[in-house]
Copies of this chain bind each other. A is one copy, B any other.
Amino acid sequence: MNANKKTVIVFSGDLDRAMAAFIIANGAAAMGNEVSMFFTFWGLNILRRPDKVKTQKSFLEALFGRMMPRGAERLGLSRMNFGGLGALMMKYIMKQKKVNTLRELIETARALGVKMIACTMSMDVMGLKKEELIDGLEFAGVATYLGEADESNVNLFI
């Protein structure tokens, strides 16, 4: 086990939980840790490009894709979202307090060398294609996660 490795599974696609995940990951990376984030299920929405990307999809895949938020700017809160109003309010407050936005946190993660891995099985189930996701990702499954977790001393599921 390597005291300098950490993993975070990002299952949730809520703005608040996504921010918590990146704040922890970036903090750990800034302190010299090797950090891997695994995005699965709703967490994949965090990684979607904001613009619509033309892809070949089945009817249900297209429906699912349309119903899920496209990227970090469009996520809702896990509580008190009120159809997006809560998320807007939270973002407004964070801007006032000069807290980094989720988009900035993702940029920082990339700059700090945090490994961002999209779960290929979840991508398949949700009908998300590689070209719909942001740049700089790796693609892997649960075995890769378990390999990394085995070498890490902090493993969180968010």
Query: Which residues of chain B are near A80, meaning CB under 8 Å?
Result: 67-68
A139 within 8 A of B: no
Copies in the complex: 3
- A68 CA / B33 CA spacing, docked (Å): 35
Residue of B nearest to A67 (CB): B80
By the criterion CB–CB under 8 Å, are A20 and B1 in contact?
Answer: no
For residue A51, CB closer than 8 A to chain B, the reply is no
Check A150–B154 contact: CB distance below 8 A.
yes
Q: A150 — which chain B residues lie within 8 A by C-beta?
A: 3, 153-154
Shortest distance between the CB of A122 and any CB in chain B (Å): 9
Shortest Cβ-Cβ A-B pairs, 6 listed: A27-B142, A156-B157, A149-B154, A154-B155, A157-B158, A16-B41
Interface residues of A (CB under 8 A from B): 1, 3, 9, 11, 13, 16-17, 20, 23-24, 27-28, 31, 33, 40-42, 60-61, 63-64, 67-68, 78-80, 89-90, 92-94, 97, 99, 121, 124-125, 127, 142-143, 145-146, 149-150, 153-158
